[in-house]
Amino acid sequence: MPAYNVKVKWGKELYPDIELNTGEPPMVFKAQLFALTGVQPHRQKIMLKGATIKEDTWDGLKIKDGVMVLMMGSKEEDVPVEPTEKPSFIEDMTEAERNSVLELPVGIKNLGNTCYLNAVIQCLKTVPELHNAIKNFKPKKSDSGSSEAGAAPLVEVESGSLLTLAIQSCYRTMDGGKTAVPLVLVNLFRSTFPRFAEQGEQGMYMQQDASECWTELMRLLMQEISPINKEKTHKNFSSSLIDQFFCGEYSCEWKCVESEKEEVTTTTDKFQQLMCHINQDVKYLHTGLVARMQEQITKRSAVLDRDAVYTKKSKISRLPAYLPVEMVRFFYKEKEAVNAKILKDVKFPMVLDVFDLCTPELQKKLTPIRSKYKDMDERQVEEERARKRGKPLQTEDKPKTRSLPYSFEDDYGSNNSGFYQLEAVLTHQGRSSSSGHYVGWVRWRAGEWLKCDDDDVTPVAEEDIFKLSGGGDWHCAYILLYGPRILEILEEEEEEGKKPAEETKMETE
């Protein structure tokens, strides 16, 4: 029968690793808690993620290893006293109070059609390097001179720095367990980028495109956030932290379709995200990415002395640690003057492999570390099988592992394997980019994600993320944020690799 190890919180007491067997009725679990706490089963109220456990069934409850179970109730021998404070039930708690009890992160208040900005801020928060850099950010200052001779010069903070400080304040508030109310952030964002301050007929601020918001914030942060470990970073990607961790490079081959005499030329282009154009043939993310790598473009031909059609073939020559992918779901309808939405279902993976999108030179550099992922995958499969059998490996039984760096030694902030893990999804619900609703979905812990719907943050299972692929009026993935898939190797393998060649030969003999 399925059995899980859960945590039970009763008042100030916390009981870790309590076995919960869903093959038995909930009354058996209550009996276990009675033996543990002395609280009679009929006096127990047991809650899981806001839902009260019924007497005879576990139906409707998503139970996993490590989940927090909240028990309320007192021992019968306790003398009744007049409560000094009114009892608090999860149903009556505020979002911040409920998240505190259930150990959930908090969200960001919607100030009126600001969900597009909230979703972007939540998704970017999943990047630890960027999160920490913003929290430790110190503004740039400019000397504006002085109105009086001999007086100290006036120092002003630039608008970009002020906006970064507003994001910093938002992150610090959230990290402190309180819901962020981004009044300053929203006002500064609209004043810095006036096109996001568009108002409707009733004077209310209008909904905006989250992808455009993402682009503007990344452009601003590129100017504000300094690089880290600059001395270990490739010189072409060392101008800022965004340059290090989010910028990749294409090697592009141009061939004129209309002239055989014109030589093939090669250029390089930087990018901050990949694009997945959606058409009737695209059913999977990878298909859309591959199709985008070859396109036809009209430009001036020096040989023909006129505009001509060129085939542009691109391959990735530098992979960033973090890879945003935009699902190009919107197109402009002239008749309605609106960015209409493509609702087509396009499947995306939890683990993305972009090896075949890279140049042969980069593929050669990626190959050595890629071979090590197979062993890690096999270990994870065995652990998952043990968990499904109801006998998950205990901490002391798990082999000791160590994480390897995900960047090349001479290019800090790059990706050295071509493997990525999905870290966040920004979705849109509605029929046009300037209407509807945006939500951020972020990875939380093993097998669990968080749905960050403004200030309402709720846990969801990993399998629910796959339902965001589109196909209807449900939330559709708009921006996928992939991060480096961390390689874990066994410590004993590492020690084996450090042995001198002569010693290894003797052991073999």
Q: How far is residue 400's CA from residue 488's CA, in Å, rounded to a whole number?
A: 9
Residue tagged active-site, from 131, 234, 277, 437: 437
Q: Is 115 a catalytic residue?
A: yes
**Catalytic residue (choose from 42, 115, 123, 452):** 115
CB distance 450 to 442 below 8 Å? yes
- Reading the chain (509 residues) residue by residue, the pLDDT tens digits are 577 888 888 888 888 888 888 877 888 788 778 777 888 888 888 888 778 888 778 887 878 888 888 888 887 654 444 545 555 554 555 555 555 555 789 999 999 999 999 999 999 999 999 999 999 999 866 554 444 444 444 445 687 899 999 999 999 999 999 999 999 999 999 999 999 999 988 889 999 999 999 999 999 999 999 999 999 999 999 999 999 999 999 999 999 999 988 999 999 999 999 999 998 889 999 999 999 999 999 999 999 999 999 999 999 999 999 999 999 988 776 666 667 788 899 999 999 999 999 999 999 999 999 989 988 888 888 877 877 777 776 666 677 889 999 999 999 999 999 999 999 999 999 877 677 899 999 999 877 999 999 999 999 999 999 999 998 788 999 999 999 999 998 876 655 455 444 444 444 44
| Domains, the chain, ordered by start | 3-75 (3.10.20.90)
Q: Considering the entire predicted model, what is its pTM?
A: 0.75
The predicted-structure confidence for 26-73, as pLDDT tens digits, reads as follows 887 887 787 778 888 888 888 887 788 887 788 878 788 888 888 888
The CA distances from residue 262 to 256, 259, 304, 497, in Å, are 7, 6, 9, 52
Q: What is the dihedral of CA 128, 375, 350, 68, to 10 degrees?
A: -70
Rounded CA-CA distance 246/239 in Å is: 12
Contact between 90 and 70 (Cβ < 8 Å):
yes
